[in-house]
Amino acid sequence: MERVLEPEVMDDPEQVLAYAGADFEQENQGFVDQFCGLYDDLEGAHILDLGCGPGDIPIRLARRHPTCRITGIDASQPMIAYAEHAVKKAGFHDRVQFLCHRFQDVSLSSPVDAIISNSLVHHVPNPLQFWYSVKTLLKSGGPVLVMDLLRPDNPEAAQAIVDEQAAGEPERLRQDFYHSLLAAFTEDEVASHLAKLNLSRLMVDVPDDRHWIVYGRVY
């Protein structure tokens, strides 16, 4: 099945509420635990979360790692508003900040120590822009963990994943999940994007039937 693009930015308030209200505890905590387990040099690190959405991953990371500083970037104003509220409520506003920007337009005064990103890449029309930003925003030797959905073989398989994984969720969330699966990349496509940007030293892995991850250090 060919990739079918979905809108890049999630800025419809109904969509934001459905996404922010969903239970991603297992996936998001698993992502944070994996990141902290992979790298042992995160002490005092400045970590960038590209496409941070409602801020759940930055908050979990701040809780798990007491000295790191996190900047979350998202192009959706309602997502950033939600994230700012959530981080204040969690009491981490001294170490977690958010910026409302397209990652393609971000420039930082100094490179960050690490980059994480979950479920952003399938939104991006040109994924090479994403990997280019990773290269330019990260210090040499900095670690990354990027996770996203895998595109199934056909629309029926996508619908089956939605029915299995999101039974009982609001219809808006189910529709967005379905369109996200159609917009996602295959493992081979991700490997080819990395190769085009000389990032082939990064590892691509498929941890389950619907996700790929990329991890390693960027030199």
Which residues of this protein are in contact with ligand SAM, per CB under 6 A?
8-10, 24, 51-53, 56-57, 73-76, 79, 102-104, 118-120, 123-124
Nearer to ligand SAM, 53 or 152 (CB): 53
- Give the shortest CB-213-to-ligand SAM separation in angstroms: 13
Kindly report the backbone phi and psi dihedral angles of residue 42, in degrees, each rounded to the nearest multiple of 5, phi listed first: -100, 5
Nearer to ligand SAM, 7 or 44 (CB): 7
For residues 193 and 105, give the distance between their C-alpha atoms in angstroms, rounded to a whole number.
Answer: 20
Nearer to ligand SAM, 57 or 150 (CB): 57
User: 204 pairs with which residues across the strands?
Assistant: 214
- Give the shortest CB-139-to-ligand SAM separation in angstroms: 21
CB 100 within 8 A of CB 76: yes
Nearer to ligand SAM, 63 or 141 (CB): 63
For residues 47 and 187, give the distance between their C-alpha atoms in angstroms, rounded to a whole number.
Answer: 25
- Give the shortest CB-22-to-ligand SAM separation in angstroms: 9
CB 205 within 8 A of CB 215: yes
For residues 54 and 109, give the distance between their C-alpha atoms in angstroms, rounded to a whole number.
Answer: 25
- Give the shortest CB-60-to-ligand SAM separation in angstroms: 10
